[in-house]
Amino acid sequence: MKPAFRKIAFAALASAIVAPSIAFGQAFPHKPIRLICPFPPAGAVDIASRAIANELQKNLGQPVTVENRPGAGGNLGGEMAAKSAPDGYTLFMTTSGIQAINPALYSKLNYDPNKDLVPVAPLVSLNNVLVLHPSVPANSVRDVIAMAKANPGKLTYASSGNGTSIHMSGELFKHMTGVNMLHIPYKGSGPAVTDLIGGQVNMMFDNIPSSLPHIKAGKLKALATTGAKRDPALPDLPTIAEAGVPGYESGVWFGLAVPAGTPKDIIGKLNAEAVRGTKSPDFVKRMGDLGYLFIPGTPEQMADMIKAEIVRWTPVVKSSGAKVD
């Protein structure tokens, strides 16, 4: 081969080797992304998933599709996400309950949410609200306690699934008041609220966003919120602590996670665009109007939040005696 041809061939080979790596480094994302939501449509996690997916789609320039994979208190979706390729094209909307409550509640998990998933960004938090079917003759938290004590095991409270903040808000209420109420788990807040409105269950410690429209429409009776202070979305309601259970506090936060092994530069890009998304006017208005609070942060901050939730909720799960096989 003549020297000139050798130079051309070498240059072509070098370009072929270098170009893919440059393209890979510059191209993420170069195809659609899926965001796994581990609860059904219409609940608070789904609402947050669709809102941030819309922002990520605008910021990343690729379609971001929400896939609802409900079941087992978020574990079915979590396992699917954990076992996906660690390439940034599968995101997971996790919750403080999935990360901190489920490991203590479920005796058998096919994945470890704190090893097989890694944090990307905390996004939003919210309080829960104690809502009753209008036919239930209780108009205060003290009324609920009195009814539950007079009728042990007869009052029913729905949840979006075992281990969710809605479930554990009820367990914490039972633990702190000494009442006996029957827990009815559903596969998400949406179907639970539907049955509550229909009168199949008596009450629920629901995430504020999914119950707020029904409270305003008079379909549900709201008694108190679960945070440490009154919630901006329902400022006229007392907290459960104010209304007769001193020291009571419960809530939940949501954040994005990806499969362990996802490259740090991809996690960094996803974090930056997710945080940017939480500050967009559309996101702030849509979520703020529904009662969400904004907590954007770094992967490291989310990891610290998970550790704090584990310390907080593990003793509650153990003392409640709740266990899911």
> Are residues 148 and 180 both part of a single domain?
yes
Domain membership of residue 11 (yes or no) is: no
Least confident of 1-5, 33-37, 317-321: 1-5
> Are residues 111 and 134 both part of a single domain?
no
The Cα–Cα gap between 30 and 102 comes to 34
Domain membership of residue 113 (yes or no) is: yes
> Are residues 118 and 64 both part of a single domain?
yes
> Are residues 131 and 213 both part of a single domain?
yes
CATH number at residue 49: 3.40.190.150
Residue 85 has pLDDT above 90, yes or no: yes
- The tokens of 200 are what? 């199949």
Mean pLDDT of 65-71: 96
> Are residues 155 and 67 both part of a single domain?
no
In DSSP terms, 225 is beta-bridged to 129, 239
> Are residues 73 and 131 both part of a single domain?
no
> Are residues 121 and 264 both part of a single domain?
yes
Domain membership of residue 239 (yes or no) is: no
In DSSP terms, 324 is beta-bridged to 106
> Are residues 117 and 154 both part of a single domain?
no
Q: Which residue has the higher pLDDT, 160 or 87?
A: 87
- Closest alpha carbon to 126 in 54, 35, 226: 226
Burial class (CB in 10 A: 0-12, 13-18, 19+), 107: exposed
Domain membership of residue 101 (yes or no) is: yes
> Are residues 267 and 305 both part of a single domain?
yes
pLDDT at 185: 93
Domain membership of residue 99 (yes or no) is: yes
The structure's pTM equals 0.82
Domain range for residue 153? Answer: 127-225
The Cα–Cα gap between 94 and 77 comes to 9
> Are residues 54 and 112 both part of a single domain?
yes
CB 169 within 8 A of CB 322: no
User: Between vectors from CA 281 to CA 278 and to CA 283, what angle results, nearest 5°?
Assistant: 45
Mean pLDDT of 62-68: 98
> Are residues 107 and 131 both part of a single domain?
no
What's the mean pLDDT when you consider all of the chain? 91
Domain membership of residue 180 (yes or no) is: yes
Least confident of 2-11, 179-188, 270-279, 298-307: 2-11
Q: Which residues contact 2 (CB under 8 A, 6 or more apart)?
A: none
The Cα–Cα gap between 228 and 240 comes to 9
pLDDT at 10: 47
With a pLDDT cut of 70, the percent of the chain lying above it is 92
CATH number at residue 158: 3.40.190.10
- The tokens of 20 are what? 């893919």
Give the chain's domain count: 2
Domain membership of residue 240 (yes or no) is: no
Domain membership of residue 237 (yes or no) is: no
The Cα–Cα gap between 96 and 102 comes to 9
Q: Report DSSP letters for 71-125, one per residue.
A: -GGGHHHHHHHHTS-SSSSEEEEEEHIIIIIHHHHBS--SS-TTTTEEEEEEEEE
- pLDDT tens, residue by residue, 214-253: 999 999 999 999 999 999 999 999 999 999 999 999 989 9
- pLDDT tens, residue by residue, 147-196: 999 999 999 999 988 888 899 999 999 999 999 999 999 988 889 999 99
Residue 302 has pLDDT above 60, yes or no: yes
> Are residues 34 and 107 both part of a single domain?
yes
